[in-house]
Amino acid sequence: MSDARDELRTLTAQFRTRLGWSARWGAVGVPSGPSPRTIADVQALEEGQHAEEPRADEVLVADGESENAEIGGQGACVGQGPLDVPVGAQGLALVREELGDCQRCDLCQTRKNIVFGVGNPQASLVFVGEAPGGDEDVQGEPFVGAAGQLLTKMIEAMGFSRDTVYICNVIKCRPPGNRNPEPDEVAACEPFLKKQLAALRPRVIVALGKFAAHCLLRTETPITRLRGTWGTYEGIATMPTFHPAYLLRTPEGKRLVWQDLKSVLAALKQMGVEPPNPARA
């Protein structure tokens, strides 16, 4: 009998901890502000742009008065994120320090540089891609090759710059020949992406391509169906869209990606986050 009571006490404590954590992040079903808005509200503004696709109606986005806004917006580096990672530049520096001269998977044997990430440690908007390519491997910076230049144009068309957002990949070292990362490589590297995002605590994440979208959203849905549909990563509104490398091969996809990015801009506006420059129409 006392075992059952102990178990119940433990379960209740775990549930309370999780609830508090979810509220802190403005996660599903736990309003963290007085008037929560949903991604569905943002999508409704676009008047059925993706009416045939499933909508993340249950996804709550904390409003500008919430703790999340203070952390994810213009704000100060305050508090301690989940995974015990300090928020902002200090947290990113600690994650990078922990990564060190990483030898945790075989990709360390062929890489030239670890490609950690670049941008504003307090960015409201974070772009997550798959893995570095050849140019990125040489320069140690994500998205600097042809696909990266296209991503830069997309960011600038939104009214941001590379300095005002943050850009990183799921995998920090280049897979030889740009092959897809192996599951053990993902398993070894993904914890550092999680810690990176815990330090950044952005308002919105854009998942670039199938790999990043599947990794962040824990789904196998094809990117052609997934893109343009809001999901959440750890309570953070996440928009999957096509990878810029795909757009170089399939330019007709640019129109759809721009739709997705306009949806991101609308969501950020709802959260009180405006780009520094006007977005292009």
What contacts 24, CB < 8 A, 6 or more positions away?
A: 32, 67, 68, 82
Q: Which long-range contacts (CB under 8 A, 24 or more apart) does 39-44 make?
A: 39/230, 39/237, 39/267, 41/270, 42/230, 42/263, 42/266, 42/267, 42/270, 43/230, 43/263
| DSSP strand pairing (236-241 vs 118-119) | unpaired
In sequence order, which residues have a C-beta less than 8 Å from that of residue 93 and are 6 or more positions away? none
Residue 185 binds ligand SF4 (CB under 6 A): yes
Check residue 83 and report its DSSP letter: G
Binding mask 51-90 for ligand SF4 (x = CB under 6 A): ----------------------------------------
In the complex, the smallest distance separating the C-beta of residue 4 from ligand SF4, rounded to whole angstroms, is: 43
Which C-beta is closer to ligand SF4: that of 111 or that of 214? 111
Instruction: Name which of 144 and 171 has its Cβ closer to ligand SF4.
Output: 171
Give the residue with the Cβ less far from ligand SF4, 40 or 102: 102
Query: Which span (21-29, 181-189, 194-202, 249-257) binds ligand SF4, by CB under 6 A?
Result: 181-189
CB of 85 vs ligand SF4, minimal distance in Å:
17
Q: How far is the CB of 68 from ligand SF4 (least distance, A)?
A: 28
User: Pick from 92, 189, 206, 271: which binds ligand SF4 (CB under 6 A)?
Assistant: 189
Structure tokens belonging to residue 128: 């997550």
Q: Which residue has the tokens 């379960």?
A: 11
Residues that bind ligand SF4 (CB under 6 A): 99, 102, 104-105, 107-108, 114, 171-173, 185, 188-189
